[in-house]
């Protein structure tokens, strides 16, 4: 069954100092959540009637899942465009995706004022199909589940080697079934992000009078979809680099380098579509007013353009540091685009001001820490990463 | 160059919709004001700023006072629409010129808040009122993002929060309390047909005094609250935002309906992805077989 077992668990101790630091942040975040449940959102956040979504939506939901879109990006490349060589990147990307989406969903749950009414999203007779947010909610919840289903093969593979006979038997029985169903699961896993990542842009199509002209366009959906793919590729590059720097594994620089032109070309088309759309709508003059928004736009464009151009250079693709920085810039560009649309270029009519509170930042840090902690534990226990040297005797790790 | 924010959405209706919807469908139809629907008319030239309306609004809606103490005397001094003010009276002052404006929900004919609300917590009633049903509200606050008038408010400091906005006193059989309370007939209620006629009559009777435009007749695709102002004070001065005449939800709903029509596009994508995997897998197998044969 392990005939093409490219991925292996890293092994090694689970409870490292890093994990304890992360746990500390996680627990303070959890305390904050309790406080929020007792005293309301206003008690922990600076959100107000003018800036009703604050940073939690653009950061915890839209940026996190953009980073988690690596699973979508690499999945499309591997399965649809038949670049099987990238298959070794898929599992790690799915773990990142599963965490990013689970946390994004958790954030929404904490952020919903009347969270106990969430049952309405499971009750189709009430659905208002015009609501882009409904599409996002249902789709993101489903996709989160699908991502975890996609992770059953590595989990079962590992379980079939555990020392408890019943666990082994169940795992061995289940694995062929899961493998058979996998193509359909993968199709769903590619369809859902296409839907909700575009909808995350579509959410702001309802704000023509509040979102600045350089960001408001009926093409928001398409632009968000494209930029989530570029963010996803960037995130894959980052995670590959970080795991090989921190753990005993070999990273395939050539593989990442060969992939790099894909996000680069996507970014260039993203920029082209945006500029053409702005021109068609007759909004070009806004670019050179050199007021705050025009500068913001130019910075954003530069952030997109730089990694794209870098990744087209062969010398950068061969260079580990160069490619890593391009990856970071890719994620950063997508993040800034998301923040601009959701927060900075968005202006309510009356004079509201907003700056995130410590509580909001702490909760976001708590979510990020949870993601990192679970990812680290997952790659140590389960066969997620490729390029891990085999050990004669796999270390038995504590199973809680 | 100075491009004001009111220009932001110019050109949207023509170029924007055409660009998105041209290949597939036509724009979803606008929802319009029905002549028999209820509405309100606010005449800024008649208002003396006594705030009888907003005081009464608080009473009938059971909203707390916003107490501010000045020189030891407590006043009810709300600053803007808020979770404790479904209605507010604001003053515009420029030298000698003074004018008041009453703000509350506009009860749009084609409301953005209703378009975005996922389970219909904000919904349109039979007679055109935009009403709120807390039992299916998840508290996502998308309505606050969507409303071009920044009307829906949220009780931020409650563990069990609510959206608060004017519901045209639908709980009162007598109708809007603010209109009842107004001693000067500045705020009146009636059917949309009646109110529009009345507004036109006032402008026609005194064309020197009134701005010829009725704010809300076409703005935002038609509002159920109409505004009149004097020639001396523009609607912009009164703080009424410049909104496109095309209903705001039209763009997003057109795009959404086009993409998801009959769920055809998503189903097609699913099919494509599954087929691609099947096809690619076969090619990969064939390649592997060929390799093996070459070796042997
Ligand atoms: S003014 Fe705002 S809250 Fe009132 S109906 Fe229109 S969109 Fe909804
Ligand atoms: S906060 Fe409530 S009323 Fe407003 S859009 Fe969300 S569910 Fe609807
Ligand atoms: S209609 Fe009722 S709720 Fe609305 S502003 Fe008037 S008094 Fe207040």
Mutate to test the pocket of ligand 3, among B39, B61, B89, B178 (most ligand atoms within 8 A of CB): B178
C-alpha B189/C-alpha B33 separation (Å) is: 15
> Is A95 within 8 Å of A372 (Cβ atoms)?
no
- B7 — pLDDT class (breaks 50, 70, 90): low
Does residue B18 surpass a pLDDT of 50? no
Determine, for residues A117 and B12 on separate chains, whether the beta-carbon distance falls below 8 Å: no
> Which of A234, A296, A266 has its CA nearest to residue A96?
A234
When CB atoms are compared, the residue of A37, A219, A280 closest to B159 is A37
Q: Which residues contact B107 (CB under 8 A, 6 or more apart)?
A: B39, B128, B129, B130, B166, B168, B223, B224, B225
Residue B252 has a pLDDT of: 86
Residue A161 domain flag: yes
User: Any idea what the CATH number is for the domain that residue B99 is in?
Assistant: 3.30.70.20
Between CA A126 and CA A134, with CA A128 as vertex, the angle to 5 degrees is 100
Backbone angles phi, psi at A219, to 5 degrees: -90, 10
Q: Which positions 22-61 of B are in contact with A (Cβ < 8 Å)?
A: none
- Write out pLDDT tens, residues A277-312: 999 999 999 999 999 999 999 999 999 999 999 999
- B80 — pLDDT class (breaks 50, 70, 90): confident
State both tokens at B275.
């087929």
When CB atoms are compared, the residue of A114, A191, A206 closest to B269 is A191
Quick one: B23 and B92 in the same domain? Answer: no
DSSP 8-state assignment for residue A395: P
Quick one: B90 and B143 in the same domain? Answer: yes
Taking residues B37-65, what's their average pLDDT? 94
> Is A32 within 8 Å of A363 (Cβ atoms)?
yes
Rounded to two decimals, the pTM is: 0.91
User: Any idea what the CATH number is for the domain that residue A302 is in?
Assistant: 1.20.1630.10
Does residue A339 surpass a pLDDT of 80? yes
Taking residues A178-202, what's their average pLDDT? 93
Taking residues B77-84, what's their average pLDDT? 82
C-alpha B115/C-alpha B255 separation (Å) is: 13
Mean pLDDT of the residues in chain A: 91
DSSP 8-state assignment for residue A178: H
Domain count, chain B: 2
- B74 — pLDDT class (breaks 50, 70, 90): low
Residue A356 domain flag: no
Determine, for residues A53 and B158 on separate chains, whether the beta-carbon distance falls below 8 Å: no
C-alpha A54/C-alpha A342 separation (Å) is: 8
Residue B191 domain flag: no
Residue A4 has a pLDDT of: 43
Residue A41 domain flag: yes
Ligand 2 midpoint to CA A346 (Å): 19
Quick one: B17 and B61 in the same domain? Answer: no
- A359 — pLDDT class (breaks 50, 70, 90): very high
Residue A246 has a pLDDT of: 86
C-alpha B57/C-alpha B87 separation (Å) is: 7
Quick one: B98 and B165 in the same domain? Answer: yes
Residue A204 domain flag: yes
Taking residues B137-152, what's their average pLDDT? 96
HSE (CB half, 13 Å, CA atoms) of B263?
Answer: 7
Angle between helices B249-260 and B264-295 (to 10 degrees): 40
Cα–Cα separations (whole angstroms), residue A134 to A129, A177, A191, A213, B163? 7, 32, 17, 26, 18
Q: Which residues contact A6 (CB under 8 A, 6 or more apart)?
A: A87, A88, A386
Does residue A361 surpass a pLDDT of 60? yes
Does residue B114's CB lie within 6 angstroms of at least one atom of ligand 2? no
- Write out pLDDT tens, residues A136-179: 999 999 999 999 999 999 889 888 888 888 889 999 899 999 98
Q: Which positions 122-181 of B are in contact with A (Cβ < 8 Å)?
A: 134-142, 144-146, 148-150, 152-162
Range of the domain at B218: 48-181+214-225+240-246
ipTM of the complex: 0.90
C-alpha A314/C-alpha A159 separation (Å) is: 42
Does residue B151's CB lie within 6 angstroms of at least one atom of ligand 2? no
Residue B274 domain flag: yes
State both tokens at A163.
């020392």
Residue A5 has a pLDDT of: 52
Q: Is A198 on the interface with B (CB under 8 A)?
A: yes
C-alpha A364/C-alpha A318 separation (Å) is: 35
Sheet containing B187-191: order of strands: B187-191, B38-43, B225-228
**% chain B with pLDDT above 70:** 88
Among A204-213, A227-236, B76-85, the minimum mean pLDDT is found in B76-85
Angle between helices A87-111 and A220-246 (to 10 degrees): 120
Residue B33 has a pLDDT of: 92
When CB atoms are compared, the residue of B8, B82, B274 closest to A183 is B274
Residue A51 domain flag: yes
Among A17-26, A253-262, B22-31, B143-152, the minimum mean pLDDT is found in B22-31
Q: Which positions 69-98 of A are in contact with B (Cβ < 8 Å)?
A: 79-82, 84
Residue A357 domain flag: no
Quick one: B96 and B164 in the same domain? Answer: yes
Question: What is the chain A residue with the closest CA to B16?
Answer: A218
> Is A397 within 8 Å of A380 (Cβ atoms)?
yes
- Write out pLDDT tens, residues A168-184: 999 989 999 998 899 99
Residue B259 has a pLDDT of: 86
Range of the domain at A41: 12-350+362-389
Quick one: B53 and B107 in the same domain? Answer: yes
């Amino acid at each position: 069954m392990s005939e093409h077992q490219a991925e292996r668990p890293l092994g090694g101790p689970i409870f490292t100092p890093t994990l304890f630091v992360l746990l500390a942040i996680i627990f303070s975040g959890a305390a904050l959540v309790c406080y929020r449940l007792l005293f309301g959102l206003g008690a922990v956040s600076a959100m107000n009637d003018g800036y009703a979504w604050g940073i939690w939506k653009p950061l915890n939901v839209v940026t996190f899942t953009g980073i988690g879109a690596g699973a979508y990006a690499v999945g499309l490349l591997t399965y649809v465009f038949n670049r099987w060589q990238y298959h070794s990147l898929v599992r790690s990307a799915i773990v990142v995706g599963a965490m990013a989406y689970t946390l994004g969903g958790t954030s929404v749950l904490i952020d919903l004022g009347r969270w106990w009414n969430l049952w309405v999203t499971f009750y189709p007779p009430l659905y208002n199909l015009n609501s882009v947010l409904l599409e996002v909610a249902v789709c993101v919840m489903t996709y989160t589940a699908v991502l975890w289903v996609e992770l059953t093969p590595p989990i079962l593979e590992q379980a079939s080697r555990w020392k408890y006979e019943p666990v082994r038997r169940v795992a061995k029985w289940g694995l062929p079934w899961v493998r058979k169903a996998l193509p359909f699961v993968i199709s769903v896993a590619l369809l859902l992000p296409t839907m909700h990542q575009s909808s995350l842009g579509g959410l702001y199509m309802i704000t023509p009078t509040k979102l600045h002209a350089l960001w408001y366009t009926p093409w928001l959906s398409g632009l968000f979809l494209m930029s989530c793919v570029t963010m996803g590729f960037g995130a894959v590059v980052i995670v590959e680099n970080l795991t090989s720097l921190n753990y005993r594994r070999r990273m395939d620089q050539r593989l990442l380098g060969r992939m790099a032109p894909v996000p680069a070309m996507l970014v260039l088309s993203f920029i082209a579509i945006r500029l053409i759309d702005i021109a068609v709508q007759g909004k070009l003059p806004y670019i050179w007013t050199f007021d705050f928004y025009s500068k913001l736009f130019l910075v954003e464009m530069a952030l997109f353009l730089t990694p794209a151009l870098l990744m087209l250079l062969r010398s950068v693709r061969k260079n580990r540091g160069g490619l890593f920085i391009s990856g970071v810039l890719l994620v950063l560009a997508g993040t800034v685009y998301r923040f601009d649309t959701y927060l900075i270029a968005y202006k309510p009519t009356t004079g509201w001001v907003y700056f995130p509170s410590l509580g909001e930042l702490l909760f976001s840090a708590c979510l990020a820490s949870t993601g990192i902690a679970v990812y680290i534990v997952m790659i140590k226990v389960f066969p997620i990463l490729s390029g891990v040297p085999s050990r004669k005797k796999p270390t038995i790790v504590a199973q809680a | 160059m100075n491009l004001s924010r009111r220009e932001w959405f110019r050109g949207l209706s023509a170029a924007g919709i055409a660009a998105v919807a041209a290949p597939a469908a036509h724009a979803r139809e606008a929802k319009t004001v029905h002549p028999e629907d209820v509405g309100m008319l606010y005449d800024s030239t008649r208002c003396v700023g006594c705030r009888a309306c907003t005081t009464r609004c608080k009473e009938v809606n059971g909203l707390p006072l916003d107490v501010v103490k000045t020189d030891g005397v407590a006043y009810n001094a709300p600053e803007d629409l808020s979770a404790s003010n479904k209605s507010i009276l604001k003053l515009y002052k420029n030298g000698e010129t003074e004018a008041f404006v009453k703000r509350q929900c506009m009860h749009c004919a084609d409301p953005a808040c209703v378009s975005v609300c996922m389970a219909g917590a904000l919904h349109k009633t039979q007679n055109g009122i935009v009403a709120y049903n807390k039992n299916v509200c998840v508290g996502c606050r998308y309505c606050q993002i969507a409303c071009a008038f920044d009307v829906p408010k949220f009780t931020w400091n409650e563990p069990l929060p609510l959206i608060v906005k004017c519901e045209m006193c639908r709980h009162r059989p007598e109708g809007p309390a603010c209109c009842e309370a107004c001693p000067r007939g500045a705020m009146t209620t009636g059917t949309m047909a009646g109110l529009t006629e009345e507004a036109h009559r006032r402008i026609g009777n005194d064309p020197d005094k009134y701005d010829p435009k009725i704010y809300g007749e076409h703005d935002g695709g038609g509002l159920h609250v109409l505004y009149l102002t004097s020639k001396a004070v523009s609607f912009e001065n009164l703080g009424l935002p410049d909104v496109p005449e095309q209903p705001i939800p039209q763009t997003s709903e057109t795009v959404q309906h086009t993409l998801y029509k009959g769920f055809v596009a998503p189903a097609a994508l699913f099919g494509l992805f599954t087929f691609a995997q099947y096809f690619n897998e076969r090619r990969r197998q064939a390649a592997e077989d060929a390799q093996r044969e070459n070796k042997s």
